[in-house]
Every structure is written in C-alpha cells, then in structure tokens.
Chains A and B, each alone.
Chain A
Amino acid sequence: MNIPKLWARFGWRQRLCAALLSAATASLSLQFVAVTPGVADAADSATVGKSKSGMGPRAIPEIAQYLRVNDAVPEFGGAYIDGDTTHLWLTNPTEEAGRSASAALVKFVSKDFDRAATSLQQARFTYSQLEVWNEQLLDVRQAVETLVHIGVSQRHNRIWIGATGAAAQRDDLMEYLDDRGIPRDAVLLTESSPVRMASSLLDEHRPVLGGLQIDFQTGFGGFFTDTCTLGMVGVNLSVSGFITNSHCSRTPGVADDGRYWQPTRPVFDTGWIGHETIDPAYFSGSPCPPGRVCRYSDANFVTLDNAGRDQGRIAKANLNSTVWPGAKYRITKKDGNVTPGLFIAKVGRTTGRTQGRVLETCQRFDVIGTNITLLCQNSTDLRSAGGDSGSPIFNVTELPEFNDVTLRGILWGGAEDGSFSVFSSIFRVQTEIGTTKLCGPAFNC
C-alpha cells in the first residue's frame, strides 16, 4: 500500500479524521503500554541484574561493608550477635585478630557489634571467599530446581542453600560444585519451606471473600469500568452471591445485570465473577425530603457466575494496610443495631483494614452532586478513601473463637475532608435486598 499516494487522494476532512483517529490510537497504545506490568518489570530486572552480576558483590552495600572488614582483617570469616556476645569467625582466631575484627565491624558496619563479650570461633573460610563462590552460584537453580534461598550465612561460615525436597537434590548440587571448583563443605544444603509473596486485597483470590477489590461496568453501554470493594459473600434465596454498594453498579437503583470482575476487568471482558440481580429502586415521598430520591441502604446483590464463595469470611488485611497475609475473619453474628461509641473496623481495597468508633447513628445524609438521600445511616471516624465503597463493617468479638466478628453494615461514603465515613446498617441492607445468609457455614445467620 502506497501511503503517500493514498494520503494525496484524501480531502481535508478525511485527512483530519485520519489524523484524529491516529492520535487516539497512539494515545490508547501508550496508555496500554504504561499499565502493562511486563514493560516496566523488564527494565527493573535489567538494572538489578547489572548491579548484582556485572559489578560483583561490592555493588551491594550490605555485602560491601563486610568485605571492607575482611580487607582490614584478612582472617575474618563473618560475625553475628547473640545476646550480649559478638561471635567472630576467624581463620586464625587470635586475641589480636579478634580485637581488630571487632573494631573494624564497629567502624564499617554498625555500633551494634560493640558488645560486652566477644567469642572467637574457628572459621574454615574467609568472608570474601564465601562471597566470591556465592557469585559463582548465580545459576545454581540448574542443580537445585526447588531453590528457596541462597546466600552467605554468617551464623554458619558457609554458603547456605535452602530448598524444598533438599535431600533429593544433594547429588546434583555436589556435582555442580565440583564442576566450578567450589569446596563441597563450603556449602550447607537444608530443607526449607517455600516463600510466597505477601498477597494484597488488590490481587486475584478464589474463592472470593469480603474486602477484595472488584471492578464493575459503568457508563455508556457498560463500556467504562469503576472500582469498589466486595462486601460480604453469602446466599440470598438459595442464590450464591455477594453484597456491595448499589452505587458500585452500572445503574444504581436498577437490577441491570451489570458484570463484575475480581480484581480487574480484562481487555476482552472475559472471566467476570458475577452480575447484579438485586438493586432496589430509590423512592420519593415521605419520609424522603422533597425533590430527592431515597433509600435506607446503599447495597445491592450480585449473583456469582464464575467464582466460588468463601461464605462468611472477610480478608484480615494488616492494620492500616492492604497487605493480606492470608488470615480471615469469620462472621458469626449479624447485628445492625449500632450504638455511638461502638468500636468497629472495616476492610477495603484502598485503605485496607482500619478501625474507629461509631460517631452518630440513624442520620440522614445527602450525597453531594446527586439527588440521592440515604436515610438512617451511621457515621464513624474510621479512615476510608475512594475505592473503599462496599467495605464490610464489623466489630471483632473473638466469640466463640479467635478472629470471629459480628457484621454491622456496609461502608458507602465519606466526608470530602476525610473527617468521617458513613455506612448502612446490615439491618437496613437486609430490609431492602432481602434476608441473606452471610455468616460462616456453621452459623445460621
């Protein structure tokens, strides 16, 4: 295709159209590249790789400081602290070498090494020898496929390799060490549990449970996407699903079949976890103020389609964090009656798990920028932010067991200055969307 010739045949309108469409396509592509994790990750990993393998261990400050000690005291094989004693590994453990090593550690590493007592231990290897061999073991995964960790252990004066199923890989490791001329006894191979990255409320989790991030359809043709928090997982009239906010749906106040994803909506809309089936209409007339439309709760029900449910469970994220190590709260009771002063908590995708007290109960709130008024709502001083809509509100009872909670409501709003948050009580939620079993399997509530 001859582009210049084609361009010449275009009138000014076609040229303008083509230019606009090209600009739009280019911008969209740039946006896509910017949010594709692989692009940024590749650059990061290249930088890390260079500093570690290309420039040697001295490029890593934590290692370089001990290599400086080894430069000052050639016998130095490592050091560690146990109580009031500094333990020193020395290939020639004399008093003089011990004093020199202690002084060098205080000077180059930390004053923590200035302890009341010093214990000298016979080392087989110097610290720098171990670090050089450690560098040569960069591709040790060839021999130890289930590698968990590797590094110089100053507690053992060895290179310490941890792996799952370590015993079965010992022979391969020894062969690998022999090929590289690394002494077999310089390496310690032990069994180790696998290490997982701490997950977060923003990651994908199945089965789904309360507190996780969800995306949902919104705007023209459901083409756009907004983000909220999954509230509580349960069963409404024998249908499995979850509760989130009514405003976290394609059209608030209308059961519109809008789809939901966890954690994010993919490019081709595959893998949705559910669709909205209950979202009562807003009403007008007393006790709703004139000119407004009202409800008693900002809640809907989403039927689960393609995901299992972890009923009655809420992700127990770390306090004031969205990091979720894996523990879960269990709902053992529902109680929509909240009293000012009650200590409560919530788990949301933006501010994570936060705690606070109920400020006022059964207040009428007008939502800014809309004609919506929510009747009989509760305010609290716990922290929240955009994206936390739908967060389950509960108080920890530890009854009958640790991590057991009483469900109190669902968070939907907050003051613009962040001074308070607002939630609907679970009593009001169930009055509007129907009684829903939201407690753990052993509890009939």
Chain B
Amino acid sequence: MKYGAATIFAVLGWIMLVVQPLGGHASTGGFEMASEDPGMAEVAEAVPAFGGVFIDGGVLKIWLTGNASESAAVRVRSALTNHVSDEFQDMPVQALAADYTYADLARWSDQLIDIRDAVPGVVSLGVSQRHNRVEVGVSDVSAGREALDNELARLAIPRGAVRLIEQSPVHQLPIDNSPSPWWLAVGIAVAGLAIGAVTMRRKRSVRT
C-alpha cells in the first residue's frame, strides 16, 4: 500500500498542475488608481454640475444638475475637448437635466466596492453615463433587489441614484482546445496503472 500512496500523490500533483492556470493568480501590492474614469473626473472638477455625457445620433448629450442650460453644456464640451478628446469640439450639444453629479455617482460607486458580499450574482458596477445613475448589473434582479436596498441604506446612498439591471454573466473569449475531462481521466488512469505495474514488478523481483 505504500506505493498506492505514491500513486495518489502523483495523480493529485498532475491534477494540480493541469488545473493551476484556471485558478487564482499571485497578488501583488498593486498600484493606486481611482476607479472612476480619469478624464471624466477632470471634467467634473472643471464643471461641478456635470453629470455625465453620451453620444446619441451625432449629438453630445450632457447631463447637468441645477440649471441645465445650453451655455453650461457648451462649457462642458470645451472641458471635454481640453481634458478628454478633441473629437468633441465640433459636435452639437444638448443639455439634459440631471439628478446627480458625476462626482457623487463616482463616489457612491466606489463606496459599493464590497457589493459582492451583500448582493448575490453581481456582474458589473459603475457609473452609467447614459442614465445618470450608478448601475449594478446582476444575474438575477429579483434575488438582488432587497439585498441592494439594504446595502444602500447601510451606506447612506440614495436609493434613486442606483439602477439595478439584469445582466448575463461575463466570460472571457478564448477558444478552449484543452482536452476533455474524459481524456484527463484516461490519462490519470493510464499513469496510475503504469506506476502500479512497475511497483508490482519490483515487489516480485525483491521476493525472488
């Protein structure tokens, strides 16, 4: 039986090696960067009423809290041109009345860093510039709504500032050509039998 244990260890070692790339990765100290979009953060700093921006039919639609005037939207456009990209400079603008500023939404989004622990099936989290809300994507809305409401109450985040949507889980997109589990099973069986055969042979030769 002492060789049986060796076989088990060999097989376990094999499984560990094969499965290793699918598991976790070594963590490092990382680097400190804000989780908000840096370009948009600069625009929010230049125009505090800024609530987000999106393109619709060639028009730059700009969310603004307070007085959502055309002139304020033009100010945002020039801030976007200065801090984000020059491709905005000739685009027509339209001001939209926002409920929240981008800075507040980004801050609330950052506060929800632990949301996975509170809400089941979280797929995505971030500021939705199309909706002027923090958006939480979950795989099952009905299972997540109550948990989210509790979490928002705990963090004192306005319930109306967060939009809960149903989203399909996200996966990476390589083509996996790895052998099927059936092949792995055969490989493990062959390896185990080969080791067993060798050990039996040795035992016999020792006896004789």
Contact = CB atoms under 8 A, between A and B. Distances in A.
Interface of A: 11, 13-14, 16-17, 20-21, 23-24, 215, 218-221, 224-228, 245, 247-248, 250-254, 281-294, 296, 298, 335, 337, 339-342, 350, 359-372, 375-376, 379, 384-389, 411-419, 422, 431
Interface string B90-119: 000000000000000000001001111100
Interface string B24-67: 11111111011111011000000000000111100001000000
Nearest to B200: A13
Given A21-B190, A419-B167, 13 more contacts: A20-B190, A24-B186, A215-B177, A253-B26, A282-B26, A286-B113, A289-B116, A290-B117, A337-B84, A337-B85, A365-B123, A416-B169, A422-B170
Given A289-B113, A360-B128, A17 B194 contact: yes
A337 B54 CA distance: 12
A291 B126 CA distance: 19
A414 B171 contact: yes
A224 B123 CA distance: 30
Contacts of A247: 172, 174
Contact of B27 (A224, A282, A368, A375): A282
Contact of A283 (B30, B115, B193, B200): B30
Main secondary structure of the interface of B (DSSP, over half): mixed
Given A219-B178, A341-B55, A293 B129 contact: no
B174 A386 contact: yes
Nearest to A419: B168
Nearest to B137: A363
B5 interface: no
Contacts of B22: 369-370
B1 interface: no
A420 B172 CA distance: 12
Closest 5 CB pairs of A and B: A283-B30, A341-B55, A363-B126, A340-B54, A415-B168
Nearest to B60: A339
A290 B171 contact: no
A228 B177 CA distance: 11
Interface stretch (B13-21, B68-76, B142-150): B13-21
